[in-house]
Amino acid sequence: MKAAFDGTIIRVGKDGRQLYEQSGYGRPEADGLRLSPQEALYLLHRQKIEVDGYNFDTLFAEFADQRNFMRSFLVYRDLRERGYVVQTGPHDFRVFRRGEKPGTGESLYLVRVLSERDPIHFGKLIEEVVASRNMRKQYVLAVVDDEEELTYYEIKLQKLADACNEVPLISSHDAMLTGKSAMVRVPANSDLEHGGYGKRLDPERLLLSPVELLYLMSRKHIVLMKGNEAVSPEAFLALASETDRELNGKHAVYTELRDHKFTPRTGYKFGHHFRVYCGISVHSDLLVHAVEKEATLPMSLISRSVRMAHSVKKKMLFGAVHTSGIQFVEFARIKL
């Protein structure tokens, strides 16, 4: 099948309409078909079309200077080889359900193509996921690494349901400021420990971390004392933030988790802010990391996070902190 390239657009004559009607390639135009660069190269490689004056190598060289073209073509080819019909837009690609194509079915995925070193801007990501959800599509990141290998991630915006178990009620306690944390004199198996708070120092004393302390103070369960003077939550937050610049965000995410009856504990050994339990479950269900909504993280870091969470059978959530609340963003590897 003959195609012509005018330096900008590749077109096929009216006999090319069968490519669209049978397999969803291109966009109908007048009596013919207009192909995207990715479609044209794939069809040329599969020997479905011939382009006057070009072979695969020379046509690839024509497009290779376009920003991010290589990774875009690799993703397009991979999706086509997996049996999907793929068209450009509204992100990078929209991907139809297997066996469906334009005019006879609906697209299932909206795909954004990235490299392993690209940054993830959480504000923009959330906007794109919301737009995909409004169109009833699944939002997918297709990440191409330095060896041209592909990994697909499904991104979901999660709303926390209340945890599966009730946490015990907590009575009021006095605590003594000790550095940037606090110490409470309570016997073993106290209500605080049953509620998932603190680390036992000895049979009479329990240590509370800054995020635990801030939450308990905000709920009037702890009165923090420095000598004979009470310390306000605001004063303690300012004090503890001197050595932990992430504390504000961690406090906001911790509070959201606690208010939904989850039990967050430190996730340091997993490289994240919190490991999160459902009530009094023995094993944690989630890994959660607090970020500002306008924060940017490299995709390589997120990839390591997802891999870690998967290896320990947990979901990986990032809690994006904004003035209007917390938006939890789940990253999960998928096989298309």
How many CA atoms, within 13 angstroms, populate the side-chain half-sphere of residue 310? 12
Q: Is 38 helix (H, G, I), strand (E, B) or coil?
A: helix
* Nearest of 173, 148, 273, 263 to residue 224 by alpha carbon: 173
| pLDDT 10s digits, 160-172 | 888 777 778 899 9
* Catalytic site residue from 139, 152, 277, 289: 277
Query: Active site includes 277?
Result: yes
| pLDDT 10s digits, 105-118 | 889 999 999 999 99
* Catalytic site residue from 91, 101, 251, 314: 314
Q: What is the pLDDT of residue 324?
A: 83
Q: How confident is the model at residue 210 (pLDDT cuts 50, 70, 90)?
A: very high
Q: What pTM did the predictor assign?
A: 0.89
What is the mean predicted confidence (pLDDT) over 131-149? Answer: 95
**Between 70 and 163, whose confidence is greater?**
70
Q: Is the pLDDT of residue 144 over 80?
A: yes
Going from the C-alpha of 288 to that of each of 61, 273, 305, the distances in angstroms are: 44, 6, 10
d(CA 96, CA 79): 10
Query: Active site includes 124?
Result: no
Q: What is the pLDDT of residue 323?
A: 82
Query: Active site includes 283?
Result: yes
